[in-house]
């Protein structure tokens, strides 16, 4: 819809009780710049550079009013004239300059945050562990060998034009159908992927850069969500 502001959120997957779920302590939104390498403890390690622009808190979700705790933030700049009326009214009510997107970050606690407060890359210090969520690269329609790492069929001995075929997909008269969830050819990639427990090598507040060890899902220029590592907190408790 022209002028609409897209809203995104991060939520834990799986059938976890909302009261027992462990949320992140801090979270930010950035943009993937690319990969390079850095010297860390006399060793060269691959790192990913993320650009983190200052974020502004638009709305605070509380357990009493919304049933969960989260921060709704925006980043970047957007011409108010290009917003539709609901989005423009939402920003105006909060008294916040409109941004590119509205992003909802689930947090364990929202105490100490205020509407209009500015968040920077300083939320994630160097040396901490983070979980990075992004949309993976889209690879289009892919066969079972590429999509599911199937072995394939024989290369010779009578095999004719079936070298990369998936093989049988079910029985004949009974049950007479293909079971749900069967691994077959189809669209590959372009889905939400979370990489857990990445170490923050550097947090440069002056330049607005976050450097994490290892790779991050998605293409260069893609939006990434960075939160404090949830499973690391559970393991350490």
Count the domains in the chain.
1
**Residue 203 located in a structural domain:** yes
- So what's the pLDDT on residue 14? 42
Residue 231 has pLDDT above 90, yes or no: no
Residue-wise pLDDT for 145-182, tens only, equals: 999 999 999 999 999 999 999 999 998 888 889 999 99
**Residue 27 located in a structural domain:** yes
Under the banding of pLDDT at 50, 70 and 90, the label for residue 226 is very high
- Using CA atoms, how far apart are residues 173 and 70, in angstroms rounded to an integer? 52
**Residue 151 located in a structural domain:** no
**Residue 122 located in a structural domain:** yes
Residue 7 has pLDDT above 90, yes or no: no
In degrees rounded to 5, what are phi and psi of residue 80?
A: -60, -25
**Residue 158 located in a structural domain:** no
How much is the pTM?
0.81
Contacts of 81 (CB under 8 A, 6+ apart): none
**Residue 79 located in a structural domain:** yes
Under the banding of pLDDT at 50, 70 and 90, the label for residue 15 is very low
Enclosing H/E stretch for 64: helix 63-66
Residue-wise pLDDT for 50-92, tens only, equals: 999 999 999 999 999 999 999 999 999 999 899 999 999 999 9
Question: CATH number for the domain including 69?
Answer: 2.40.30.10
- So what's the pLDDT on residue 236? 56
Mean pLDDT of the chain: 88
């Amino acid at each position: 819809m022209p002028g609409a502001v897209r809203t995104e959120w991060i939520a834990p997957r799986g059938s976890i009780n909302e009261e027992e779920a462990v949320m992140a302590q801090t979270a930010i939104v950035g943009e993937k710049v690319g990969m390079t390498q850095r010297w860390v403890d006399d060793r060269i390690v691959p790192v990913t550079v993320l650009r983190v622009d200052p974020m502004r808190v638009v709305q605070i979700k509380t357990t009493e009013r919304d049933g969960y705790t989260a921060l709704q933030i925006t980043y970047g700049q957007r011409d108010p004239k290009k917003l539709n009326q609901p989005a423009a009214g939402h920003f105006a009510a909060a008294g916040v300059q409109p941004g590119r997107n509205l992003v909802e970050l689930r947090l364990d606690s929202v105490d100490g945050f205020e509407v209009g407060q500015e968040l920077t890359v300083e939320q994630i210090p160097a040396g901490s562990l983070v979980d990075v969520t992004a949309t993976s690269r889209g690879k289009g329609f892919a066969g079972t060998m590429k999509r599911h790492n199937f072995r394939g069929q024989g290369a010779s001995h009578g095999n004719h034009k079936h070298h990369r075929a998936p093989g049988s997909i079910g029985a004949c008269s009974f049950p007479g159908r293909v079971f749900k969830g069967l691994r077959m050819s189809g669209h590959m990639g372009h889905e939400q992927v979370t990489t857990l427990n990445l170490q923050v090598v550097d947090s440069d507040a002056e330049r607005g850069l976050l450097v994490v060890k290892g790779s991050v899902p998605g293409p260069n220029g893609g939006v990434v969500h960075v939160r404090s590592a949830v499973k690391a907190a559970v393991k350490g408790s």
